[in-house]
Structures are given as C-alpha cells and as structure tokens.
Structure 1
Amino acid sequence: MDKFESYRALHVPGDPFIIANVWDVGSARMLAGMGAKALATSSAALAFVQGSRDMGALTRDASLAHAEEIVAAIDLPVQGDFENGFGDDPETVAETVRLAAEVGLAGICVEDMSYPDTLPYPADLATERMRAGASAARSLGRDFFFVARADGVMNGVYDMEEALARLTAFDEAGADGIYVPLPPTMDDLARICAATKKPVNALAAGAFTGSSLSDFAAAGVARVSLGSALARATHRVIFDAAEAMLAEGDFTPLARTIPGGQVQELIDKGAPGG
C-alpha cells in the first residue's frame, strides 16, 4: 500500500488510532518521532500561530500552504482541517478537495457550518456539499479520505437527532468517514458509531479528555483527533510561565522543561528518513 491507502487502512471501527493535530514543522516532526501513525492540521492552532482567529478568518490559500509544509516535513499521512471547505457552494468544496490532494494531503474534514455566522447549512445543501466533496475525492485517481463533519451539536445549534439525521445523509452521499464533535456523552458517541458503518472520528476535548483510548474503542470509534487541544496545552505552559515571570519575577516554571537535546532528537527522528 502507498501512504494514502495505508491511511485509509488505519480506520478500523472499535480499534481507534490517535491522529494528533499539529501546527508547525517542529510539532509535526516531534509527534512523528514519538510514533504517531498519522497527523492532522488544526485550523485553530494555525490561527494561533498566525495571530489570527479561527472559524472563517483563515483563507484557503493559507491553509493549503500550511498543510503542504507539514506534508513535506514528515513521511506520515496528513489530514487537513479545512473548516467548511472555504465556500458555501458544493463546487467550492469539490475544488478544495482537488487542491488538498495536489499539496499531498491524505484527506480532509469539511464542516456543515457557514462562516462567519457559524450557523448550519440547510440539511439538503449540507448533504449536497458533502456529496460534491466525496465525488471529487473519488475522481482523483488515488486514495483520498473525505470526512464529513456535523458540527451543530458542538456549536449548540442543533440536537443529537438532527446530527444523526445529517450523518446518515452524509454517509449515503459517499463520505468516507463521519465526525460529530463533542456529543453530550460517551453513550451519544456510541449512538453515532452505531448509526453508520463508516469510520467515526471522536474529539479528545472537553469532558472526553477524561476518557481513555479503550473507552473510545468500546464506543466503536475508529480514530481520535485532538483538535487544537495539544496547541492549547502548549499555550497553557506559555501562559503559566509568563504569568509567574511577569507578575512575580518567578522563573521556577522554566525548570519543568524537556531537555533541548531530547527535543532535537525527536525532531530529527521524525524527519523524512529519520
């Protein structure tokens, strides 16, 4: 199998792998050096790096350039977090799929939300957008894993019943994977997995950070992503250390660091051929 086929093969319901979301070459190579099987970009983490805002502020060109840099930096397959596909109409979603494939991504996620208002597209339009993305993925001439996201539960704009109806429609429209971020409970996540034969992505954030990989497996999940959580954990360290230094002149948080040599070793190990 090539890298793209092997990426698809990782998606086994009930036997999830962790897909870590990274934000630059260093974080990508470090995670690759530590044994990650695949990586993903994060729109929010990229926004942090650029001093921008998430959810509609990033351009498609910027996201593609960022993804291309990550792809070139490692040997692992990379999934793109591409918000709503950077446009409302189905053809824009299809074009985003084609452009994502050109920069070497193994797949992308597309949300059912419009920006900048973060309201859900009407169900029919949302389904047609996913159908266009899935069709474009099938026409590429190589494997490409297209994931349809139903974000309304996480954003508080529709309930679980609507999410289940949408994921069924997205499944029938040809999506390779399904993603409903942050359902209320693990039982709800299990309902999502039971409603489709397609691999389901779960997000390790919020209350779900208290769950183990075996908990996600028991629910039927095929992969667990981190969203911007790892990037925000890094910013937590920056915040805590800076607050201590700038407010109190206390440098002790800097003692809780990983040795630079160990960081460099992992980065070297995660580089292509490393």
Structure 2
Amino acid sequence: MSRFDQFAALHVPGTPLVLVNVWDAGSAKAVAASGAKAIATGSASVAAANGYSDAETLPLDLALGNAARIVGAVDLPVSIDFEGGYAVAPDALASNVALLAATGAIGCNFEDQVVGGSGMHAPEVQAVRIAAIRAATGPAFFINARTDIFLQAAPETHDVAKVDAAIARAHAYAAAGASGFFVPGLADLDLLARVCRESPLPVNFMAFPGAPDAAAVAAAGAARISHGPFPYRAAMQAVEDAARGLLG
C-alpha cells in the first residue's frame, strides 16, 4: 500500500486518525517515536518556530524546505498545512502545490479564507482552486479542504445556517476533487454530528483546550482529529518553564 493510500485509509468516521501537529524535523521525529500513524504540520507552529507570524508570512522556500526535511526525517505519511497555497490564481496555486508534492508530502490542508485579506473565497471560486490542485498533483494526493466558516464567527453564533453553508461547501469541494473536509472552530457536538453525517468527505475536527474530548468527537462521526498550534505552544511553555528554573 502506498503512503497515499495508507493515509487515506486512516480516515475512519467514528475511529478518527489523531494527528499531533508538528513544526520541524525534530518534533516530527518525537511524534513518530510516540507511535503516531501519520505526521501533520500546523502552519502557525511552523511559522512561529521560524520567527514568523501565521498567514503565509513564512517565505515559500522556507515552507517547502521545512516540509522536505520533515518528510526525510520520518517513515510515515506527512501532510503539510499549506494555508491558502501561497497564491490566489489557480495556475500559480497549482504550481506551488506541485512543488509541495515534490517534497514527498502525501497531502495538504488547503483553506478557503482569503489569506492576508478578509472573508472567504466564494464556494465556486474555491472549488476551481481545489480542482487546479487536483490536476497538478494527481488522484492520490490528500487535499484536506478547510472551511473557515466557524473560525471566522464567534462560537455562540454557530447555528444551523452556518452548518448548511458548510455542508454546501463540502459538496462543492468534493465535486472539485477534495479528499477531506476540515471544520476548525466547530465544537458543538450536535452541529458537528450533522456535518459528519451530511458531508461527502471525511470530517476533520480541531482539538483545543476546553473542546469536547476525543471520545465525544469520535462518537459524533469525525474521521480525523488534529491539534493545530497547541502542541507547539505547550512545548514552548515547557522550554520557558525549564529555562526559568535553570536561571534560578
């Protein structure tokens, strides 16, 4: 089984793949040593570890070099959080993701927010962008299509209408060639369960402090649980705490 197929097969609704997001080759090796089945990065963590903020301020060549080093460090499938692909136009986007695929990464996160701007790309625009990535990478590359509907709205405003909009995007993204559907920010288990039931793609939940636990998220039908920037933040807090102790 190829690493592409191996990774895709790990997405089982109700028995989700758990990803502890990494930021460099060293953190990837540590997570692999823990018994992880796959490796995924978090863009905010990668940026911060290199002295940048999130939202594609990390130069593309550094992002690609970091991806290649992670792939070379572990014997597991590696998915890269590639934000908005460092481009808006489909042709430029396709070229950038082809470069990412050439590092050996088996897939990427690809978000529908307007990086560096405001709002989100219209579903039909984002679908064209996903189709361009699929054409550039072939049938096996795992495109985890992220919607920012829930991240861009306060949790108390998450409702049926937003879920309707998310499900419509899931169908549009699936038709364009996406492999998975990522709904960071959505923590209401009833709403999450409906997304999981009605999405044609396996659904990715993002864990965060105070979010429902993994068992509850699995019961809602999620096929993937990722941890975003929180492992990096915990690691850096541990370094700071250790330094304070050493410095007396």
Whether TM exceeds 0.5 here: the answer is: yes
Deviation at 1:47, TM superposition (A): 1.2
Contact 2:108 2:142 in 1 (8 A): yes
Contact 1:137 1:145 in 2 (8 A): no
Contact 1:134 1:176 in 2 (8 A): no
| 1:211 equivalenced with 2:213 (yes/no) | yes
Specify the alignment match of 2:148 in structure 1: 151
Contact 1:44 1:53 in 2 (8 A): yes
Instruction: Tell me how far apart the structure 2 counterparts of residues 196 and 85 of structure 1 sit (CA, whole Å).
Output: 23
Contact 2:40 2:79 in 1 (8 A): yes
Deviation at 1:69, TM superposition (A): 0.3
Specify the alignment match of 2:25 in structure 1: 25
Quote the RMSD (CA, aligned, Å): 2.0
Deviation at 1:84, TM superposition (A): 0.5
* Deviation per residue, 1:102-155 (Å, 9 max, x gap): 10001011000112124211222122112222333336xxx3111111013112
Specify the alignment match of 1:192 in structure 2: 195
Deviation at 1:171, TM superposition (A): 1.6
Counterpart residue type for residue 129 of structure 1: R
Matches within 5 A, 1:70-81: 70-81=70-81
| SS of residue matched to 1:153 | coil
Deviation at 1:237, TM superposition (A): 2.1
| 1:173 equivalenced with 2:170 (yes/no) | no
Specify the alignment match of 1:100 in structure 2: 100
What runs of 5+ residues in structure 1 fail to find an aligned partner? 250-274
Instruction: Tell me how far apart the structure 1 counterparts of residues 54 and 31 of structure 2 sit (CA, whole Å).
Output: 23
**In the superposition, relative to structure 1, how do residues 244 and 187 fare at CA in structure 2: closer, same or farther (>3 Å)?**
farther
Matches within 5 A, 1:1-274: 1-138=1-138, 143-156=140-153, 159-208=162-211, 210-212=212-214, 214-242=215-243, 249=248
| SS of residue matched to 2:150 | helix
| SS of residue matched to 1:162 | helix
**In the superposition, relative to structure 1, how do residues 78 and 138 fare at CA in structure 2: closer, same or farther (>3 Å)?**
same
Identity of aligned residues (%): 39
**In the superposition, relative to structure 1, how do residues 65 and 185 fare at CA in structure 2: closer, same or farther (>3 Å)?**
same
| SS of residue matched to 1:114 | coil
Instruction: Tell me how far apart the structure 2 counterparts of residues 13 and 75 of structure 1 sit (CA, whole Å).
Output: 25
Deviation at 1:245, TM superposition (A): 6.9
Structure 1 ranges of 4+ moved more than 6 A: none
Instruction: Tell me how far apart the structure 1 counterparts of residues 99 and 75 of structure 2 sit (CA, whole Å).
Output: 20
TM-score (norm 2): 0.89
* Deviation per residue, 1:247-266 (Å, 9 max, x gap): xx4xxxxxxxxxxxxxxxxx
- For these two proteins, the number of residue pairs brought into alignment is 242
Instruction: Tell me how far apart the structure 2 counterparts of residues 199 and 129 of structure 1 sit (CA, whole Å).
Output: 20
Contact 2:84 2:113 in 1 (8 A): yes
Counterpart residue type for residue 151 of structure 1: D
* Deviation per residue, 1:24-60 (Å, 9 max, x gap): 2221111111100000111111111111100131232
| SS of residue matched to 1:160 | helix
What runs of 5+ residues in structure 2 fail to find an aligned partner? none
Name whichever of 78-87 and 97-106 sits farther off.
Answer: 97-106
Instruction: Tell me how far apart the structure 2 counterparts of residues 81 and 126 of structure 1 sit (CA, whole Å).
Output: 17
Instruction: Tell me how far apart the structure 2 counterparts of residues 165 and 58 of structure 1 sit (CA, whole Å).
Output: 32
Contact 2:13 2:223 in 1 (8 A): yes
**In the superposition, relative to structure 1, how do residues 198 and 238 fare at CA in structure 2: closer, same or farther (>3 Å)?**
same
Deviation at 1:242, TM superposition (A): 5.0
| SS of residue matched to 2:75 | coil
TM-score (norm 1): 0.81
